[in-house]
């Protein structure tokens, strides 16, 4: 069985093809089409880490990019047809939690949830529509990034605002990055050699967007993102948690709501503090003695520490702290900064292991010879793998 996983963005399509045979899921190739509808674009196609090509590529629309992707797949798969397509859909609202077979009604529902994720659900729906035309023989499945957080208990799901108002406008914590938090939780359970339903974990997804998730008995019971992905940790360009009165204050100063939206989503976080949002650049600026870069890193790591501390008060025991996402997986320095205050809470970092190269399935960076230490894991994110498994579960 051949499965195509699609993550459609506003100007990009990320894809990965898996082959499922004898209960084994194997990646075949993956790629990224960027700059759709723009004047400059690229197509990266990767068969293995060595067989990787990146070429300039222009397409006027998602439909054209999907048509070209179909032609490429036909060539690369020697004419074999895709059996199922799994789509990453950002928001499932209060309607969708599990992976769902897409029918015209489901697609309509996904579009109707656009008010909760205006930047994401419309393009996800567009990707689904294109894939339905290009891969009409294949079953289509939606996997929701909010789904894993369906298990949030009422006291972390609801905000302390007027209940009626919250009900009318569907205001609650939905949480995001759920597909990756779930994937790394499963990987952690394997590494811990323990059933997932017995695992208590704190997962830190630190990428451009960033979120923390508290997992009790394998289920999400708290997470830092909220109604939108703006909440929680300090991110590349998003502010995370700030005084809720700040946007109102800015509005009263005469700044338009669209501008405030842009300020908080695109001009804040690391970028707001030191003008750079790529952590590699921020770290190198800090090394050169740049004080605002140092401040940004101090803020970034101390906010994460506060979340970890808060989460530790909500569970009686923790099996592992997990680092994932571009920063979490690759920056030994940021991990060290975060963990520098956590020894009293039982997290002892092994500096040698912390500087080792990543392994695909994840590895420990804890001083496990220290009997008091909890496990600390670095687990490379792999949303596509979990999405492929969920797609097969529905379609095989």
- Tell me, yes or no, if 145 is annotated catalytic: yes
- C-alpha closest to that of 139 among 391, 390, 393: 391
Q: Which of 145, 154, 241, 258 is catalytic?
A: 145
Q: Which is nearer to ligand ADP, 136 or 288 (CB)?
A: 288
Report CA 76 to chain centroid distance, whole Å: 28
**Cβ pair 327, 207 in contact under 8 A:** yes
Residues counted in the chain: 396
Q: Which is nearer to ligand ADP, 64 or 330 (CB)?
A: 330
Among 128, 231, 327, 387, binds ligand ADP (CB under 6 A): 327
335 three-class SS:
helix
Q: How far is the CB of 206 from ligand ADP (least distance, A)?
A: 7
Q: Which is nearer to ligand ADP, 208 or 217 (CB)?
A: 208
Among 126, 208, 217, 305, binds ligand ADP (CB under 6 A): 208
- C-alpha closest to that of 337 among 242, 192, 248, 206: 206
**Cβ pair 33, 59 in contact under 8 A:** yes
Q: Which is nearer to ligand ADP, 41 or 326 (CB)?
A: 326
Q: Which is nearer to ligand ADP, 86 or 326 (CB)?
A: 326
Binding flag, residue 234, ligand ADP (CB under 6 A): no
CA distance 104 to 128: 10
Interface characters, 16-55, with ligand ADP (x: CB under 6 A)? ----------------------------------------
CA distance 383 to 121: 18
Binding flag, residue 280, ligand ADP (CB under 6 A): yes
User: Which two structure tokens, joined as six digits, stand for 326?
Assistant: 């571009």
Alpha-carbon torsion 242, 95, 86, 181, what sign? positive
Stretch that binds ligand ADP, among 12-20, 52-60, 206-214, 241-249 (CB under 6 A): 206-214
Catalytic positions, please? 145
Question: For binding to ligand ADP (CB under 6 A), which residues are involved?
Answer: 207-209, 236, 278-280, 283, 325-327, 330-331
């Amino acid at each position: 069985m051949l499965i195509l996983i699609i993550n459609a963005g506003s100007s990009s399509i990320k894809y990965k093809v898996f082959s499922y045979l004898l209960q084994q899921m194997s990646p075949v190739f993956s790629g990224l089409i960027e700059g759709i509808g723009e004047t400059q674009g690229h197509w990266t196609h990767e068969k293995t880490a060595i067989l990787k090509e990146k070429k300039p590529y222009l397409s006027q629309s998602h439909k054209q990019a999907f048509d070209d992707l179909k032609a490429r797949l036909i060539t690369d798969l020697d004419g074999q047809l895709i059996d199922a397509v799994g789509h990453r859909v950002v928001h499932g609202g209060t309607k969708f939690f599990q992976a769902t077979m897409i029918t015209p009604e489901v697609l309509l529902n996904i579009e109707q949830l656009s008010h909760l994720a205006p930047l994401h659900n419309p393009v996800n729906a567009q990707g689904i529509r294109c894939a339905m035309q290009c891969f009409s023989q294949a079953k289509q499945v939606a996997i929701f990034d909010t789904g894993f957080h369906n298990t949030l208990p009422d006291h972390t799901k609801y905000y302390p605002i007027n209940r009626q108002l919250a009900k009318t406008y569907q205001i609650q914590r939905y949480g995001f990055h759920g597909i990756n938090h779930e994937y790394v939780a499963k990987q952690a359970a394997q590494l811990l050699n323990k059933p997932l339903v017995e695992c208590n974990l704190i997962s830190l997804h630190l990428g451009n967007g960033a979120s923390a998730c508290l997992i009790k008995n394998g289920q999400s019971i708290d997470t830092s993102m909220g109604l939108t992905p703006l909440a929680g940790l300090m991110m590349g360009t998003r502010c995370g948690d700030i005084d809720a009165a700040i946007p109102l204050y800015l509005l009263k100063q005469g700044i338009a709501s669209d501008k405030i939206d842009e300020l908080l989503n695109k001009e804040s976080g690391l970028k707001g503090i030191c003008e750079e949002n790529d952590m590699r650049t921020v770290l190198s600026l800090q090394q050169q003695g740049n004080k605002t870069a140092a401040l940004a890193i101090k803020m970034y790591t101390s906010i994460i520490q506060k979340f970890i501390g808060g989460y530790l008060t909500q569970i009686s025991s923790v099996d592992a702290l997990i680092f994932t996402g571009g920063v979490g997986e690759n920056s030994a320095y940021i991990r060290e900064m975060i963990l520098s205050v956590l020894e009293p809470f039982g997290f002892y970092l092994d500096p040698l292991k912390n500087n080792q190269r990543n392994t695909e399935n994840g590895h420990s960076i804890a001083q496990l010879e220290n009997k008091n230490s909890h496990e600390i894991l670095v687990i490379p994110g792999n949303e596509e793998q979990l999405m492929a498994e969920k797609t097969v579960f529905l379609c095989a």
